[in-house]
Amino acid sequence: MINIDTYAYASQLKTIDPLQKFVFALITLGVCLWADTLVISLAVLFIMGWMTIRSGGTPISLFIKLMFVPMAFLVIGVLTIAINVLGNPQGFIVSLPIAGFWIGVSKVGMYEAGRLFFRVLGSVSCLYFLSLSTPMVDLLAVLRRLRVPKLIVEMMGLVYRFIFTLLETADIMLTAQNSRLGYRDLTTGYRSLGALVATLFIRAYKRSNDLFTSLEARGYDGDINVFEVPFEKSRKIYIVAIVVNTILVFVALTLK
Amino acid sequence: MTQNILKLQDLHYTYPDGTHALKGLDMEIKRGQVTAILGGNGAGKSTLFHHLNGILKPSSGQVFFEGKPVDYSRKGLIRLRQSVGVVFQDPDNQLFSASVYQDVSFGAVNMKLPEDEVRRRVDVAMERTGISHLKNKPTHCLSFGQKKRVAIAGVLVMEPEVLVLDEPTAGLDPKGICEIMKLLKETQKELGLSIIISTHDIDIVPLYCDQVFVMDEGGIVLEGTPQEVFSEKKALRRVNLRLPRIGHLLEILKEKDGFNFKELPVTISGARKAMKIWRDERKS
């Protein structure tokens, strides 16, 4: 599993106010979707990639690797647009006659497919910019500032914190079962897995009780109130967001 | 100001499942000292600790803080918990936030302090526990020792008068144990804190602790300075504990090999001194 969060912590853009990054990513995403032009999509992809890799210091190999994550869905989706079925071979660049019909790729289809392809990659790059420069904790802080109900944000925070502990516990138990031949055949395996899940649930329940006790000891009164590490005060990213998106919108309008 | 910061009087506690964990426990904890609570597994140490800041309410008996009986109303408990901070054994049960900074700030924010003061305290606590460089690290990427320090910082930020630590050295490597104990000792000296620790690690007790209580089956069986307690060898062994290794060695040397030490020291420096005296006496 690629742990995006570890790269977000290492990013040089981490210290920037997460709200600004959030706004920048969302507006650019919006413009990319609205413009629906090859040039704009490519520009967004390039800008976001540039900012993540050059300004953030994320390794380029990782960025490219992540770009391949949506590829499987994307290729299938794009192929259905690129490939057409017609009664005659005219207009096709390449075509195959099958049972009186012609299946092939047309120029228009190719262009359409390409446009969609890069529109998706451009949009995805906006989200990658955000997640590769902003750790989960900072994103939660944004949600809090955007007045998302406290309960939801707190739950997300606790889930995120303890998912690692849960996985670790499960992993240790699995190893322990394995070393006592708990998975030697299918029946034993199912029985062991059942025991593991049940124990994990009980452990989680007990741990939540212990956590509550220790929160109480530090004056928990029903709300988890904390302060965040202060962020850089500059509004640099807002300015970048405005300049970049004005240019993009302007270019898109002239092209249309 | 009384000399005893905490006093427990004839404390009884029975868990809902019927386990009678504390059976008439009496204890007086002196201000500004490091007090160790020794006891085998299941002696009632954790139950006792949960009484010190009102997480558990005694079935009978009383807890006194600064000479006044503990007030178990909501407000009273808030006041008590600001004064008596508890660091739990497993830091994973205490650290709830994925951000170190957020977790440390929690207690101070709950005290409704102004923002500047909270931030100042967080910085001080992180500095003191040596975790300032971890400010931007996610909690789940820390080592066990680092988590332990974050847990301590999260309590120090409330600037308590009493710091209670359940097995602070459990699970740490020898260097980690030494560092944590030094950190506690320094903090205690600088802030005039009273520190209470529970431990199985008998060897650290004569090095860092001023006062020792030995627990067994929900009561106190021995109390005194480390030197006093460790001279009660038989009683210690009866409750599944032992002498510090050095003390044990010197005991064997004295009883089986004819070294006539005047007293039995339990630390390395004490043993060294005793050996030198023994050597010089032989020379003359």
Q: Which region among A50-54, A152-156, B254-258 has the lowest average model confidence (pLDDT)?
A: B254-258
B98, B115, B155 ranked by CB distance to A227: nearest? B115
What is residue B40's predicted lDDT score, i.e. its pLDDT?
82
Q: Which residues are CB-contacts of B58 (< 8 A; sequence separation ≥ 6)?
A: B11, B12, B13, B22, B51
Give the number of other Cβ atoms within 10 Å of residue B264's Cβ. Answer: 22
ipTM over 0.90: no
Residue contact A160–B98, C-beta within 8 A: yes
Report the percentage of chain B scoring pLDDT > 90: 46
For residue A136, list chain B residues with Cβ-Cβ distance below 8 A.
Answer: 98
Q: How confident is the model at residue B183 (pLDDT cuts 50, 70, 90)?
A: very high
Neighbours of B219 (CB within 10 A): 17
Confidence of residue A2 (pLDDT cuts 50, 70, 90): low
CB A14 within 8 A of CB A227: no
Question: To the nearest whole angstrom, how far is the Cα of B99 from the nearest Cα of chain A?
Answer: 7
What pLDDT band is residue B2 in, cutting at 50, 70 and 90? low
Q: Which of B38, B36, B46 is nearest to B241 (CA)?
A: B38
Q: Is A153 exposed, middle or buried (0-12, 13-18, 19+ CB in 10 A)?
A: buried
Average pLDDT on A178-182 reads 84
Contact A211 B98 (CB under 8 A): no
For residues B101-110, one letter each, b for 16 or more C-beta atoms within 10 angstroms of the residue's C-beta and e for the rest, the string is bbbbbbbbbb
CA dist A206 and A133 (Å) reads 35
**Residue in A with minimal Cα distance to B77:** A219
pLDDT tens, position by position, A113-154: 888 999 999 999 999 999 999 888 889 989 988 999 989 999
**CB contact A221 to B (< 8 Å):** yes
pLDDT, chain B, mean: 89
Optimal mutation site among B52, B88, B102, interface A, most CBs of chain A within 10 A: B102
Length of chain A: 256
Joined tokens for residue B120: 């100042």
